[in-house]
Each structure stands twice: as structure tokens, then as C-alpha cells.
């Protein structure tokens, strides 16, 4: 079956994804590698970059649904998602959040949906994936850690892909103390494909990732490995 994909524009990523990129009409999940603020920010901006690129392609706004009130607009803008292109929904609880996501997808106006949630049942993820497929719209779910030991991706899910994102030491730029963020990107599971991991430079102002030049050869050698078992 043919379906539309959104490529990352990085061969080390796209060549290991079915169809050469992320399936747009699907549920995709990401979680921070640890409970640290740096890893949480990396996972958030990873999804923001995907949503920004889909919005640039489709022209519609991005709906960002969260029960929290700590969304940092300047940070999203640095990942390509300007505040003018974001509709923020703050439902009262996660049960209402899932309803908001379904309503937004069925409305058809957004280019993409980003949502933050802690515990999501298998049944709920299956519903989200089905509505995303029907609308050919990506639903990007940020799975929040509820405690230090809990791995959100240990829970079953119908998501098409599941990612763990962590922060690593940044590369230096011409200005002392300043460098583009670097992330460890691990695809823990994908339908019809293998897990892999690599180091990338974080989303730029267009939502695009990059492979650090000096790590290119080593990254290519490590693609196909993952530090965690596939979820």
C-alpha cells in the first residue's frame, strides 16, 4: 500500500525507514532517554522539528496539546516551529487530551498534531493511529516519564515508530561556549524495519537535523545498533 512520507533529509535516517522517511498518516512516539531536563528538551524539540517541516510542506498550523502550561515558544521557534503557526490546547486531563487529538485530526485543518501524555493505553494508541491514517496527518506523541525508573516505551503501543531521544555534548562553533545541540536518536521500534541509533545535530530554524561532519563515518558504522531492546 502506498503512503506519503516525510523524509528527514539525512540518508543515515531515511535509508533505514520504510519508504524513505516517516509515514505521515500515522502515530509516532518519542520519549526522553532519561528524566533530565536536557533529555526532555531534546525529545520535545525532536518532535517540534518534525511538525515544523510538515507544516512548511502542508501550510496548516500545528496543534500542540498538553495538560501542562510550560510550553516554551522561543525554544520551539529555534526548532522551526514559530508561535504564529501553533495552536495550543490545554485540556483538563489526559482523557480529555485524547479526545482533543481525535477532534483536531478529524477537523482536518492542522498539518500535524503534537501531544504530551504520560500513560496511554494500547487501545487509545490504536485509535490515534487509525484516525491519523484516515486523515493522512501525523500524530506525534511525546511520552512523558512519570518517574526516574519508568520507561514510557516499555508500555505497548500501536505507534508506527517509537523513538528515544537524549542530549549529548555539543559541537563547538566560532563563538566560545556556543554550539549547536547534539542528540542521541534511537529508533526503538518501527513497523516493518529494524531499530537503529545515531548522533545528530539538533533541529535548526527550519526543523532539520544534521549529521556532525566529524562523526559522519563513525555514525554510519553504528547505524543498525540500539542501546535498548526494541519495544
- Per residue in 61-106, pLDDT (tens digit) is 999 999 888 888 899 999 999 999 999 999 998 889 999 999 999 9
Q: d(Cα 137, Cα 124) in Å, to the nearest integer?
A: 17
Residue 143 bridge partners (DSSP): 117
Write down all domains in the chain, each with its CATH number in brackets. 21-222 (3.40.50.300)
Q: CA 135, 140, 146, 152 torsion: positive or negative? A: positive
Q: d(Cα 142, Cα 117) in Å, to the nearest integer?
A: 6
Q: pLDDT value at position 169?
A: 84
Residues sharing a CB contact under 8 Å with residue 184, sequence separation 6 or more, in sequence order: 33, 164, 165, 166, 167, 168, 197, 198, 199
Q: Report, as ranges of residue numbers, the positions in the chain whose pLDDT lies below 70.
A: 1, 171-179, 214-231
DSSP state of 202: P
Helices (H) and strands (E) in the chain, counts: 6, 10
Strand order through the sheet with 86-89:
86-89, 62-65, 112-117, 139-143, 27-32, 161-168, 182-190, 196-201
Q: pLDDT value at position 59?
A: 84
pTM above 0.95, yes or no: no
DSSP state of 169: P
DSSP state of 150: -
Amino acid at each position: 500500500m502506498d503512503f506519503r512520507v516525510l523524509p528527514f533529509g539525512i540518508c543515515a535516517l531515511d535509508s533505514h525507514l520504510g519508504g524513505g522517511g516517516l509515514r505521515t498518516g500515522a502515530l509516532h512516539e518519542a520519549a526522553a532517554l532519561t528524566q533530565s531536563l536536557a533529555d526532555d528538551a531534546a525529545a520535545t524539540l525532536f518532535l517540534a522539528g518534525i511538525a515544523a517541516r510538515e507544516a512548511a510542506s502542508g501550510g496548516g498550523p500545528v496543534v500542540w496539546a498538553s495538560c501542562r502550561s510550560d510550553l516554551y515558544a522561543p525554544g520551539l521557534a529555534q526548532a522551526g516551529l514559530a508561535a504564529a503557526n501553533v495552536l495550543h490546547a490545554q485540556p483538563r486531563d489526559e482523557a480529555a487530551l485524547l479526545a482533543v487529538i481525535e477532534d483536531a485530526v478529524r477537523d482536518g485543518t492542522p498539518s500535524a498534531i503534537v501531544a504530551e501524555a504520560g500513560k496511554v493505553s494500547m487501545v487509545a494508541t490504536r485509535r490515534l493511529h487509525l484516525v491519523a491514517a484516515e486523515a493522512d496527518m501525523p500524530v506525534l506523541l511525546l511520552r512523558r516519564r512519570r518517574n526516574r525508573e519508568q520507561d514510557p516505551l516499555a508500555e505497548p503501543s500501536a505507534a508506527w515508530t517509537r523513538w528515544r531521544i537524549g542530549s549529548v555534548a555539543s559541537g563547538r562553533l566560532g563563538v566560545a561556549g556556543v554550539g549547536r545541540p547534539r542528540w542521541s536518536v534511537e529508533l526503538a521500534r518501527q513497523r516493518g524495519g529494524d531499530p537503529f541509533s545515531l548522533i545528530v545535530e539538533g533541529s535548526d530554524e527550519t526543523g532539520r537535523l544534521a549529521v556532525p561532519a566529524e562523526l559522519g563515518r563513525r555514525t554510519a558504522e553504528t547505524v543498525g545498533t540500539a542501546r535498548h531492546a526494541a519495544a
